[in-house]
Structure 1
Amino acid sequence: MTWKQFFSASIGKKFTVALTGIFLILFLIVHAGVNSAIFVGREDFNNIAHFMSHNYIVRILEIGLFVGIFLHIIQALIVWRQNAAARPVGYHMSKANKNSTWYSRSMGLLGTLILLFLIMHMSHFFVGTKVALYLEDDAPHDLYEKMREVFSNGYIVIIYLVSLVALFWHLMHGFQSAFQTLGLNHKRFTPMIKAIGTGYTIIITLLFASMPLAFYFKWIE
């Protein structure tokens, strides 16, 4: 089997979803870590944001991030549709449901909610930052104040929190599933991967949730 045949086959698509999923899992660690600088202070956070937006290595990695997101979405949708078409019905469907969690069967829905949230999130923070960057290359952009402005709206905060619930359940299944697809499905490794995935998911979700809540309730100035 050639590489083209492999990645065109169902297993190849699942492999791509798994690899890009792990890449995005790692990205979330960096993203949460950088954004957590809001708790250090406005100046430090804005300095970090300025460095990230002006560093050429980061910009190149940014392109890789968008490619990873695109591949993850497209291949995941293809796999989801193929699985839906092949899914058993009637008694067999009921039996299959007993052997799987509701969130593992709802990855398509959860992923769609996350995609809609991602579009909104980028419109709030990414687009404005890039426009400011290209208009005034060396001018500081107060991303901290932008976050304060966005998260002063209670409706937006609620949408963010609901989206994070979707992300939580998506990661709860996706973390273990990604490593399982890559062949790390063994009685010695699976419990450890599941435990790490659960811990990772809880920490990442709480970190991201704390940011809009901190601005809305004025826990930080």
Structure 2
Amino acid sequence: MSEFKETFNSSLGKKLIMALTGLFLCTFLIVHVGGNALLFKNDDGYAFNMYANFLTHFPPIEVIAYILYACILVHALYALILTVKNRRARPVGYAVKASDNASWSSKNMGLLGSILFLFIVIHMGDFWYHYKFTDAVQFKEYRTDLSSGVTQSVEFVPKSADFEHSISTENNIEIVRVKDLHLRVAASFANPVYDIFYVIAMVAVSFHLLHGFQSAFRTLGWTHRKYTPIVEFIGTWFFAVIVPVAFALMPIVYYFKK
């Protein structure tokens, strides 16, 4: 047990923890970008609001969510510890720096991570906290004619303060009442300052993952002449390009269609 503890208290152990938590966060990004893509549906937020309601009311997902929050904190904490430790080990820079092939993103992971951590705190405060713990989010009622599939929506004001959501059927009409997180998203993305910061954060995501995704596999020793190019391709084109661009398009599209 002491050897296990000693291993994870070492620099290598901390890097292993960062690699594992980082890869877990990458899987979350895939789910999150897929769910947020529902914002592009022209259905007055029905699909997105149902997605948000599912995430916050399905117990296994809620457990995974709190594991995710813990991973964010651990990943950020260990990154800070390693950065401080490295700087203390070499408080004075070399008079002549040896040339290396390190990328800009690998040299600035601390800066990129700080931007992302600030973004996550603001982003979660604006959406998750308000959705879960305040009355700032309004409600929406969706009425779907089951014979025609046509859905109409109106604002809904619950009579009870503890109302969360409901689904019922009356006269072949499905009635869904949920919190209207879509309305809050649209309101946030109507703010140009928030949108600019959001896009900057997605640029930071791109550069952070450009180095971090591949680095995690190297730290874990999962390198192979045949498979490493595949990892580099996924890290570059999927996580450093497609995912950040998909996220960045959301505030841009909402701002210009307001």
Q: TM-score, normalised on structure 1?
A: 0.91
Provide the residue aligned with 1:140 in structure 2: 178
Query: Aligned Cα RMSD in Å?
Result: 1.9
Counterpart residue identity of residue 221, structure 2: G
The 5-angstrom pairing of residues 91-110 of structure 1 reads 91=95, 94-96=97-99, 98-110=100-112
* CA apart distance, 1:44: 1.3
Which residue of the other structure, out of 64, 68, 74, is the alignment partner of 2:67? 64
Contact 1:132 1:141 in 2 (8 A): no
Provide the residue aligned with 1:21 in structure 2: 22
Which residue of the other structure, out of 208, 214, 220, is the alignment partner of 2:253? 214
Q: Which has the higher strand share?
A: 2
Q: Percent identity?
A: 38
* CA apart distance, 1:73: 0.7
Structure with the bigger RCO (C-alpha within 8 Å, sep 6+) is: 1
Name which one, 1 or 2, has greater alpha-carbon Rg: 2
Provide the residue aligned with 2:80 in structure 1: 77
Contact 2:19 2:220 in 1 (8 A): yes
Contact 2:164 2:179 in 1 (8 A): no
Alignment: residue pair count: 217
Provide the residue aligned with 2:89 in structure 1: 86
Counterpart residue identity of residue 123, structure 2: H
* CA apart distance, 1:18: 0.1
Q: Which has the higher helix share?
A: 1
Output the CA distance in 2 between the equivalents of 1:214 and 1:53: 26
Output the CA distance in 2 between the equivalents of 1:90 and 1:61: 45
Provide the residue aligned with 2:35 in structure 1: 34
Contact 2:119 2:201 in 1 (8 A): yes
1:116 maps onto 2:145 in alignment: no
Unaligned runs of 5+ in 1: none
Counterpart residue identity of residue 215, structure 1: Y
* CA apart distance, 1:104: 0.4
Provide the residue aligned with 1:129 in structure 2: 131
Unaligned runs of 5+ in 2: 136-160, 166-176
* CA apart distance, 1:90: 2.2
Q: TM-score, normalised on structure 2?
A: 0.79
* CA apart distance, 1:83: 2.5
Output the CA distance in 1 between the equivalents of 2:235 and 2:121: 26
1:171 maps onto 2:209 in alignment: yes
Output the CA distance in 2 between the equivalents of 1:6 and 1:50: 41
Output the CA distance in 2 between the equivalents of 1:103 and 1:71: 21
Provide the residue aligned with 1:55 in structure 2: 58
Output the CA distance in 1 between the equivalents of 2:124 and 2:202: 15
